[in-house]
Amino acid sequence: MKLSVWSSYYYALSPENALREFKAHGYNYCELSCEHSEVLLKRGDAKVIGKEFGKYAKELGVELLQGHLFFYGIKICKPEDRELIKKQLDLFVAIGIKNAVLHCDPLMGENGVKAPVEIAREENIKALSDLLDYVKDTDLVICLENLISSPAVNSVEGLMYFIEHFNSKNLGICLDTGHLNLKDKDQVAFIRRAGKHIKALHLDDNEGQSDQHLMPYGRGNVDFVSVIREMKKQDYKGLYNLEIPGESGAPVEILGYKLDYIQRVMEYLDKVTDK
């Protein structure tokens, strides 16, 4: 099992220092957060900075196989926002990231009303066509995340609509267990339907009322045994990545203790799901 944690768990640290903390607690994999991507992009040319940061990570012994594309205030259906995402894609390719998690655009009007699903699909298809064309000559996979706020992708069938429309080697799915726990809750059915198209994971928990982004076996109620067991049945090879900003409000020393605990929890899940 390739255990990973979203890098903004250490959002107050530089990208380099965040990786150093993960490595110090035995983590060899990490998902690069959009916050840390932004820090890197401010340093200069995406391809140059990405290559330098990728070299740093490799020498440290941390593999950045997954990254999260911008989503704070960014809408992929806006051409100017897609240009920002393209710079981030350049950064990811230069670093060596293989799977880039993307939020589709819910197309929210000024009055707070979401566009009908058909229109949202049509507009997101145009945006995705542009982004997929941009990465077509790379091995980077854009992974669409199941979202609570977007009717077009708040279910596995919604995500599979895009997968089947494009039939592209550069398009996959990211399962967010916390988001799904706020919707239909059937993690196993989602995994079986999406199957080999799941290229990235956001493992996080909540109590079923709000998107708390908690670690497993706290206050939440996601059945992680079923999730991990089914992902193994699907022969999933990607990161078992925890997206848990709900746990990050603590001193760096305490965050390290939590990482040690998470490692033990995932070792337990790995063991019990082999039975």
Domain boundaries, the chain: 2-272
What's the pLDDT score for residue 108?
A: 75
What's the pLDDT score for residue 150?
A: 87
What's the pLDDT score for residue 110?
A: 64
Distance CA 171, CA 23 (A): 30
Distance CA 222, CA 219 (A): 10
Average pLDDT, the chain: 96
Answer whether residue 114 shows pLDDT above 90: no
What's the pLDDT score for residue 85?
A: 98
What's the pLDDT score for residue 151?
A: 86
* Tens of pLDDT, residues 47-95: 999 999 999 999 999 999 999 999 999 999 999 999 999 999 999 999 9
Q: Which CATH architecture has domain 2-272?
A: Alpha-Beta Barrel (3.20)
* Tens of pLDDT, residues 132-181: 999 999 999 999 999 998 889 999 999 999 999 999 999 999 999 999 99
What pTM was estimated for this model as a whole? 0.96
Which percentage of the chain shows pLDDT scores above 70? 99
What's the pLDDT score for residue 155?
A: 96
Banded pLDDT at 115 (limits 50, 70, 90): confident
What's the pLDDT score for residue 39?
A: 98
3-state SS, the chain, equals CEEEEEHHHHCCCCHHHHHHHHHHCCCCEEEECHHHHHHHHCCCCHHHHHHHHHHHHHHHCCEEEEEECCCCCCCCCCHHHHHHHHHHHHHHHHHCCCEEEECCCCCECCCCCECCHHHHHHHHHHHHHHHHHHHCCCCCEEEEECCCCCHHHCCHHHHHHHHHHHCCCCEEEEEEHHHHHCCCCCHHHHHHHHHHHEEEEEECECCCCCCCCECCCCCCCCCHHHHHHHHHHCCCCCEEEECCHHHCCCCHHHHHHHHHHHHHHHHHHHHHCCC
Q: What is the mean pLDDT of residues 265-275?
A: 94
Q: Residue 101 pairs with which residues in a beta bridge?
A: 68, 143
What's the pLDDT score for residue 109?
A: 67
> How many degrees, rounded to 5, is the angle at CA 235 between CA 231 and CA 238?
75
* Tens of pLDDT, residues 200-248: 999 999 999 999 999 999 999 999 999 999 999 999 999 999 999 999 9
**109 vs 118, residue with greater confidence:** 118
By CB neighbour count within 10 A (0-12 exposed, 13-18 middle, 19+ buried), where does 253 fall?
exposed
What's the pLDDT score for residue 134?
A: 98
Answer whether residue 10 shows pLDDT above 70: yes
27, 261 Cβ separation under 8 angstroms: no
